[in-house]
Every structure is written in structure tokens, then in C-alpha cells.
Amino acid sequence: MIKKGRGVANVYYPTGFNGGGDPDLVSLRIKADGTIDMTNASCEMGQGFKTVAIQMAAEALGVSEELFTIDNSNTDTTAFSMDTAGSRSTYIVGLAAISAANNLIEKMKEFVAGVKGCSPEELDYKEGRVFKKDDENVAMTLQEIGTASTYGGVFIMGAGGFLPPVGPPRDPETGFTVPSRSYAWGSTIIDVEVDTETGVVTVENIYNCYDIGTVINPLQAEGQVDGGNVQGISMALFEDLAPYFPESIEAYAADFTDYIIPTFMDIPKHSEIKFYENYDPYGPFGAKGCGEMVTNTQSPAIANAVYDAIGVYIDSLPITPEKVLRALDEKNKTN
């Protein structure tokens, strides 16, 4: 018999390394034609780091993201990044990019002041243009600054960094500390079908509402959520390297035939995503970390939905057909 059930989960997740203290640096170098090279050594592993980093630098300078290239490729010439982990990159690289952009603006003002024979304090910057506050016609564009500085023998590179404040040492008696200043929040409702003959659990509908602060790039963020859903479902229902652990660890899965990850056929029939953009006072443009939290709600929501469907909790992941059938047997015995 097919039984239907619905489950909910509600979580929060810290942004950045536990306890802070994980800095990143960004450099922004203006080229002869006014285009900009950005560097930061965070890793692009699919999450959209390069795209989102450029968007935040572009926003800070008020120019199009089309002007940018980004180099994240090496430890000789690319600005330092602590790591790409802990849902930190958008947040920390974004804040470092804002700092680097401000530094670039200051350096451009100094350069333009020299060219126009005024003081940097008399100048303002807006959307790719340095101009005199009292006479906007006295101005240089990024392109003009790039050409004049490069061929004028002046190296203009903005550099900046961000260090999340280091939390106090954990109190050994109470555990009090500060893991992070910023947290993302998320809630998920999942509908499942449980086949009581086979024990197979199928995810029908999945509804996610996530607060990752300001969404820097909805296309990439939706992608993260889609992938989070599938990894979360996979953690809930499939993945186990050693199914007979802790009795045995010998029956390891050694390939994708034995270690099951979801295919196109395992995605929910219906998936809805909404972002509740609760502006983070510390984050870049109000953003919080996104990457990890979006894979956290699915396994408890599914376990809770299975209970709703068949009246037993499976407290041990993954929720395999074998566990479902054994739990149903147990329940029928006691009834």
C-alpha cells in the first residue's frame, strides 16, 4: 500500500569558519583600457564563486560586471584566500572586494588629482568616473584613468581584505563562545510516499524557504538549492559506504553501482524555492552564507514525513527500504 506523509524541518547555519578569524584578500587592478582584473584564490567548485565575486566587486565600483576578469588560479599571484569552506566565500570575499574597491577608488582619486591639479579631497567617484565635486566636467573615466596611469608609469591596484572577528576562547565549563556573527535560516516541507510492501520512500514535493540574506545571484542560488535538495534526499535515503557498520566495515561500496547517488529519476516531482531576503547587517550588501544550509533540512523533513505516513520514526540514516520494513514489522508486532 502507498502511504503519504508530510514532514517539516527548520534550521540555522553559521556563515564562515567556526569562531571567525578566517581572512581573505582581494586585488583589483585597472588595465590600460579601463577593464579590471580581480584576484582571490577561493575555489570555483560549481557554486558560482567567480560569477558572484565579480558581481560584488562590480556593485562596489558601480560598474558593469562585463568589465571584469577574475583569476583564482594560484598561490603566486592571486590574492590570499583562507579556504573555500564553511559557506564563507560570498560573505568574506564580498567584504574583501568592497574593501579593495574602496582602496581602488582612493588610488584613482590620487591619480586624477595629480592629472587635474587638485587635491583628492576635491574629487568624488561614482559609477566608473572620478570627477570634481564642484565641477563635474572636470572628470576622468575608468578607461581614461587606465590608459593615463598605465602609460604614465603609475601602477593603480586596489587591495583590500576582511577578517571576521575572532571569537573569544570557548569557556570550558559553559561552552560560551561566538561561532559567527551571521546566520542563514531555512525551513523545508517535504511530501513523501512510502510503499509499505517494498519499504521504498519516494519524495514527491519539496518546498524550501531560505533566508540567505540578500541573494547576490538568484540563478546560482537556485542551483545551490536544487543541488542541496538532491544531496539532502540522497543523505536521507541512499548514501552509506558501509551498510553493516558498526558490525562490519568490509562491505564497502567501491563504485556508483554500489554507492547510490540520485539520478534524474530520483528528483522530486515538484520543487519550489523561495528566498526570504533578511538583510544581514554584517554581510556584503546584506548577504549571508548559502552553500551548506541548503542540504541540511531534507533528511529530518523526510524522516518526519515517513513517520507521518506510516507511524514509525527511522532514527538511523539512511532510511533504506530494509529499515522501513523492519520498523513496520516491529510496529505490527507491538500492535
Partner 1 sequence: MFKSVGKRVKKYDGVGLVTGRMTYVSDLTMPNMLICKTLRSPYHRAKLNKVDVSEALKVPGVYAVITKDDVPHNYFSMVPDHHVLAEDLIRYKGQNIAAVAAVSKEAALEAISKIKLDIEELPYVIDPVEACKPDAPKVRPEGNLHLFDGVSEVRKIRKGDVEKGFAEADYIVEGTYTTPCQEHAPLETCASLAYLDEAGKLVIHSKSQGLYFSQGDLANVFQLPLNKLKFVGGTIGGGFGGMNSIHTDHIAGLLALKTGRPVKFQLTREEEMLYSTIRSPWIFKFKDGIKKDGTITARKIEVLHDCGAYTELGLYAVEKNANMIAGAVKVENLAIDSKMVYTNKMPSGSMRGFGVNVGQFADQVQIDKLARAVGMSPIEVRLKNAFKENDENHVGNKLVAVSAIETLKMVAEMAGEEISPEYANLSSK
Partner 2 sequence: MSEILSFYLNGNPVEVLVKPEQTLLEVLRDDLGLTSPKCGCNHGDCGACTVILDGKAVKSCLVLAPTVKGKKVITADGLCSGEKLHPIQQAFLDYGAPQCGYCTPGMVMAATAFLLENPKPTREEIKEALSGNLCRCAGYDKYVEAVLAVSNGEFGLLPEGSDINV
Shortest Cβ 210–partner 1 spacing (Å)? 7
Segment 222 to 261, residues that bind partner 2, using CB under 8 A = 222-223, 225-231, 255-257, 261
Shortest Cβ 228–partner 2 spacing (Å)? 7
What number of chain residues touch partner 1 (CB under 8 A)?
A: 123
Judged by CB under 8 A, the stretch of 64-72, 143-151, 219-227, 240-248 that binds partner 2 is 219-227
DSSP states of 149-208 as a string? HHHTT---EEEEEE-PPPPPPPPTTT------S-EEEEEEEEEEEEETTT--EEEEEEEE
Interaction of residue 155 with partner 2, rule CB under 8 A: no
Q: Out of partner 2, partner 1, none, which partner does residue 160 contact, by CB within 5 to 8 A per kind?
A: none
Chosen residue from 2, 45, 166, 241 binding partner 2 by CB under 8 A: 45
Alpha carbon distances (Å) from 222 to 32, 166, 212, 294: 37, 31, 11, 10
Q: Which residue has the cell 515538484?
A: 270
User: Residue 209: in which H helix or E strand, if any?
Assistant: strand 201-211
Interaction of residue 180 with partner 1, rule CB under 8 A: yes
Distance CA 57, CA 104 (A): 11
Task: Determine phi and psi for 204, rounding to 5 degrees.
Answer: -90, -60
Shortest Cβ 195–partner 1 spacing (Å)? 21
Chosen residue from 137, 219, 265, 334 binding partner 1 by CB under 8 A: 219
Distance CA 320, CA 240 (A): 10
CB 292 within 8 A of CB 85: no
CB nearer partner 1, residue 74 or residue 137? 74
Interaction of residue 90 with partner 1, rule CB under 8 A: no
Judged by CB under 8 A, the stretch of 79-87, 134-142, 144-152, 324-332 that binds partner 1 is 79-87
Chosen residue from 4, 33, 252, 330 binding partner 1 by CB under 8 A: 252
The candidate with the shortest Cα–Cα distance to 16, out of 86, 67, 73, is 86
Segment 264 to 303, residues that bind partner 2, using CB under 8 A = 264-265, 267, 271
Beta bridge partners of 206: 190, 271
Shortest Cβ 280–partner 1 spacing (Å)? 5
Chosen residue from 36, 54, 203, 225 binding partner 1 by CB under 8 A: 54
Cβ atoms within 10 Å, residue 107 = 21
Judged by CB under 8 A, the stretch of 28-36, 76-84, 97-105, 158-166 that binds partner 1 is 76-84
Interaction of residue 211 with partner 1, rule CB under 8 A: yes
The candidate with the shortest Cα–Cα distance to 3, out of 307, 322, 333, 298, is 307
CB 165 within 8 A of CB 19: no
In the Cβ-directed half-sphere of 267, how many Cα atoms lie within 13 Å? 11
Interaction of residue 173 with partner 1, rule CB under 8 A: yes
Q: Out of partner 2, partner 1, none, which partner does residue 281 contact, by CB within 5 to 8 A per kind?
A: partner 1
Binding site for partner 2 (CB under 8 A): 45-48, 219-220, 222-223, 225-231, 255-257, 261-265, 267, 271
